[in-house]
C-alpha cells in the first residue's frame, strides 16, 4: 500500500480545498485517471492518478482542506486488486493463516449441490412450464448479456473545444435518452458556456449507452460527455447475442422461438419504417441520407416531420430551413380549408368551444384572487452562463476604465426618408433594411478620420494598438443574457451586406446560438436601447474596446429650420462613453460630429464610399 502525496499544484500554493472525489474506496483505477478535483485560490485543478491500483483509503473528505506534500489517498498497486486475491488477503489478515480459504470454498460447493437439487426438482414440473421458464431465463440472460457487451464496446464522446479559453460548460438539455439510436449530425445536447448556447451533435450514427452528466451539471472540455456504440458494432453484437442465445435453447424451443423472433424483428422493422416513411405510407428498406444542418433537423423533430417528405432546394438536395417553413405553411393552409359538407361540423364545434369558454371564464373568476396572490414567489436563481460573465465584465470595465460621457442629438429625418425609398429594394433580396446598417457604415467612415476610436490599450497599458479592421458590435438582449456579436470589416461592406449580417447576428443572438467567432474581435459597440424605450443612457464600455454609443428612441419634435420657421423633425439622442486613458473630449467630439454629419446628410456618404 502506497500513499499518494499531493504534489505542487501552483507556485506559492500550500493548501487547497477538496471539492469532489471522482473515486471511492475499493475502486480500481488506471494510470492518469482523474481521481479528485481541488480548488486553489486561482483555479479548479484536476488531480490524476500516478499509477494503476486499488484505492484503499481516502484521507480527506469533500470540503476539507488538503495540504501540499501531504498524503491524499492510499492505493494498493499489487496483484490483490481482483476479487479472489482481495478475499484471500482479507481472510488471511483476520484469521492469520491461509487455510481459511478452504473453509470459504466449502460453502460454495454446497451451494452448487443445492442448486443442482433445485434444478432436478424443477425438471419434474410440466414441460410447458419448463419451456416458458427456460425461454424467459434465456431472454433475460440475453438482454443482460447484450447490455453488458454493449457497455464494453461503447466509446466515449469527448467534449471538444467549444470556444477559446472555455474549460467547462453547463449541460442545459439532453435531446435524446439512453438507449436511443441517433444519426450523424443529430443534435444530442445543448450546453451553455459563459458566452453562448452551443449545440453538440453526434459525430457518427449509433446507440446512446450512458450519459456522464445530468442536466444542470458542469461538463469539462476534453472529458467524456456520453458513451455510445457505433451502428456497426451494435449490429454485430446483436447478431452474436442472438446466435449465443439460440445455442442454449433446445431444438423444439428453437422452432417455437424462431417464428416469434422473426415476427418481432419484422414488427420492429415495420415500426422503424413507419416512423421514417412519408405521408404516403411507403416502407423502404434503405433510403439515401438527405443532407441537412443540425438546426434544420431539430426543427423537423420539433414539428414531427419526416425529412424525406420535404423537397430540398439546396445543393445535392439539401433541405434548408426555408424548405421546412414553406412545408409547414402549406400544411397549415391545407388544414384550415373547410369544405361545404363540413360547415355544420364547424358550427357545432364553435358552439361547443363557446360553452367551454364560458365555463372557463366562470372558473377563472372564482380563482382570480388565488392567481393574484401567487404571482410573486421567493426564490434564488443561480447567476451563471452568459449572465455571470456579463456581471463580471461589467464590474471589471466600470472599475478599471475611467469613463467619460458625451451626449448629442441627431436629426435623422432625411435618413428615414432614404431608408423608406430603399426598403422595398432590399426586401426583393430577402433583406430587412433597418437604420443599423446606415449607422454602422457612417461610423466606419468616421473611424478612417479618427482611427483612435478603433484602437485598444495593451494589457500592460504601455501601447496603443490600432486595429486594421472596423468590427462594429451591437448589443442584443437575448434569452441567455446580453450578447454583443460584431459585423466584421464594416468599412469594406455595402449597406445591403451589412444589413444581411445584422439580420443573421440578431437572429442567432436571440436564439442563444451565436458562433464564438462572431463574439470576438470587436472594435466599437452600439447599444440600441432606444428600440425598447428611453431617451438617454450611460453605457459601459465593452473591454478591450475604447468607446461605445447608446442610441435613444427617435422622437418627432419641433425644430427651427434655416429660415427660422418651426418644423417637425425626427430626432434621435445619442450618448457616447469613452476610455479617458487614451481618448479625450475633443477627439470624441470630432469623431461624433463627422459621424453625425454622415447620418444627417446620407447622400454625402456616397462621396466617401470606396
Residue 602 three-state SS? helix
What distances in angstroms separate CA 466 from CA 398, 401, 455, one per listed residue?
A: 22, 18, 4
Q: Does the annotation count 27 as an active-site position?
A: no
CA distance 541 to 549: 9
Neighbours of 504 (CB within 10 A): 14
What percentage of the chain's residues is helix, strand, coil (to nearest 5)? Answer: 45, 20, 35
What distances in angstroms separate CA 315 from CA 281, 296, 319, one per listed residue?
A: 27, 15, 9
Q: What letters, b where the CB count within 10 A reaches 16 and e where it falls short, cover 209-238?
A: bebebeeeeebbbeebbbbbbbbebbeebe
Q: Catalytic residue among 369, 584, 597, 603, which?
A: 584
Supply 51's cell numbers: 499509477
Burial class (CB in 10 A: 0-12, 13-18, 19+), 174: middle
Task: Specify whether the CB–CB gap between 502 and 484 falls below 8 A.
Answer: no
Burial class (CB in 10 A: 0-12, 13-18, 19+), 286: exposed
Supply 171's cell numbers: 449541460
Supply 474's cell numbers: 451591437
Cis upstream peptide for 474 (omega within 30°): no
Strands 181-182 and 206-211: antiparallel
Quote the distance between the C-alpha of residue 91 and its chain's center.
52
Task: Specify whether the CB–CB gap between 529 and 550 falls below 8 A.
Answer: yes
Task: Specify whether the CB–CB gap between 534 and 513 falls below 8 A.
Answer: no
Beta strands in 138-272 (DSSP E): 155-158, 168-174, 181-182, 187-192, 197-201, 206-211, 218-220, 224-230
Strands 472-474 and 524-527: parallel
- What does residue 71 show for φ and ψ, rounded to 5 degrees? -60, 135
- What does residue 430 show for φ and ψ, rounded to 5 degrees? 75, 30
Q: Catalytic residue among 88, 175, 580, 597, which?
A: 580
Q: Does the annotation count 580 as an active-site position?
A: yes
Residue 253 three-state SS? helix
CA distance 359 to 363: 6
Neighbours of 490 (CB within 10 A): 24
Active site residue ranges: 580, 584
Amino acid at each position: 500500500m502506497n500513499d499518494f502525496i499531493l504534489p505542487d499544484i501552483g507556485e506559492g500554493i500550500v493548501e487547497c480545498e477538496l471539492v469532489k472525489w471522482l473515486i471511492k474506496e475499493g475502486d480500481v483505477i488506471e494510470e492518469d485517471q482523474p481521481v479528485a478535483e481541488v480548488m486553489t485560490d486561482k483555479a479548479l485543478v484536476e488531480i490524476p492518478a500516478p499509477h494503476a491500483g486499488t484505492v484503499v483509503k481516502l484521507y480527506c473528505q469533500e470540503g476539507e482542506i488538503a495540504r501540499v506534500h501531504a498524503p491524499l489517498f492510499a492505493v494498493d498497486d499489487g496483484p490483490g486488486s481482483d476479487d479472489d486475491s482481495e478475499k484471500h488477503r482479507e481472510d488471511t489478515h483476520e484469521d492469520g493463516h491461509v487455510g481459511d480459504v478452504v473453509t470459504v470454498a466449502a460453502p460454495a460447493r454446497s451451494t452448487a449441490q443445492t442448486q443442482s437439487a433445485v434444478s432436478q426438482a424443477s425438471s419434474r414440473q410440466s414441460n410447458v412450464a419448463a419451456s416458458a421458464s427456460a425461454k424467459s431465463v434465456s431472454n433475460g440472460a440475453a438482454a443482460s448479456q447484450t447490455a453488458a457487451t454493449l457497455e464494453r464496446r461503447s466509446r466515449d464522446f469527448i467534449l471538444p473545444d467549444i470556444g477559446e479559453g472555455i474549460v467547462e460548460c453547463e449541460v442545459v438539455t439532453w435531446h435524446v435518452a439512453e438507449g436511443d439510436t441517433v444519426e450523424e449530425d443529430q443534435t444530442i445536447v445543448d450546453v451553455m458556456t459563459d458566452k453562448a448556447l452551443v449545440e453538440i451533435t453526434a459525430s457518427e450514427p449509433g446507440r446512446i449507452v450512458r450519459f456522464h452528466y445530468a442536466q444542470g451539471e458542469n461538463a469539462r472540455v476534453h472529458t467524456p460527455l456520453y458513451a455510445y456504440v457505433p451502428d456497426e458494432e451494435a449490429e454485430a453484437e446483436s447478431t452474436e447475442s442472438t446466435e449465443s442465445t439460440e445455442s442454449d435453447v433446445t431444438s423444439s424451443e428453437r422452432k417455437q422461438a424462431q417464428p416469434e423472433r422473426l415476427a418481432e424483428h419484422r414488427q420492429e422493422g415495420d415500426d422503424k419504417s413507419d416512423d421514417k416513411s412519408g405521408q404516403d405510407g411507403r416502407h423502404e428498406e434503405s433510403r439515401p441520407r438527405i443532407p441537412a444542418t443540425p438546426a434544420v433537423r431539430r426543427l423537423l423533430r420539433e414539428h414531427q416531420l419526416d425529412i424525406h417528405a420535404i423537397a430540398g432546394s439546396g445543393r445535392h438536395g439539401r433541405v434548408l430551413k426555408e424548405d421546412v417553413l414553406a412545408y409547414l405553411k402549406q400544411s397549415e393552409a391545407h388544414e384550415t380549408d373547410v369544405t361545404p359538407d363540413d360547415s355544420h361540423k364547424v358550427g357545432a364545434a364553435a358552439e361547443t368551444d363557446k360553452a367551454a369558454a364560458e365555463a372557463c371564464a366562470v372558473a377563472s373568476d372564482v380563482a382570480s384572487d388565488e392567481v393574484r396572490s401567487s404571482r410573486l414567489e421567493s426564490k434564488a436563481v443561480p447567476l451563471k452562463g452568459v449572465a455571470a460573465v456579463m456581471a463580471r465584465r461589467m464590474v471589471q470595465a466600470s472599475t478599471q476604465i475611467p469613463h467619460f460621457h458625451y451626449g448629442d442629438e441627431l436629426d435623422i429625418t432625411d435618413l428615414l426618408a432614404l431608408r423608406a425609398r430603399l426598403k422595398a429594394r432590399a426586401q426583393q433580396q430577402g433583406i430587412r433594411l433597418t437604420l443599423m446598417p446606415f449607422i454602422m457604415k457612417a461610423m466606419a467612415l468616421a473611424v478612417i478620420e479618427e482611427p483612435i476610436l478603433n484602437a485598444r490599450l495593451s494589457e500592460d497599458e504601455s501601447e496603443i494598438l490600432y486595429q486594421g479592421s472596423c468590427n462594429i458590435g451591437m448589443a442584443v438582449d437575448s434569452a441567455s443574457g446580453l450578447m454583443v456579436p460584431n459585423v466584421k470589416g464594416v468599412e469594406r461592406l455595402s449597406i445591403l451586406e451589412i444589413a444581411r449580417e445584422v439580420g443573421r447576428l440578431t437572429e442567432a443572438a436571440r436564439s442563444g446560438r451565436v458562433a464564438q467567432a462572431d463574439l470576438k474581435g470587436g472594435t466599437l459597440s452600439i447599444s440600441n436601447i432606444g428600440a425598447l424605450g428611453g431617451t438617454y443612457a450611460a453605457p459601459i464600455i465593452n473591454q478591450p474596446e475604447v468607446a461605445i454609443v447608446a442610441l435613444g428612441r427617435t422622437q418627432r419634435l419641433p425644430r427651427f429650420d434655416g429660415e427660422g420657421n418651426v418644423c417637425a423633425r425626427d430626432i434621435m439622442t445619442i450618448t457616447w462613453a469613452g476610455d479617458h486613458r487614451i481618448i479625450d473630449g475633443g477627439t470624441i467630439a470630432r469623431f461624433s460630429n463627422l459621424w453625425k454629419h454622415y447620418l444627417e446628410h446620407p447622400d454625402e456618404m456616397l462621396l466617401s464610399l470606396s
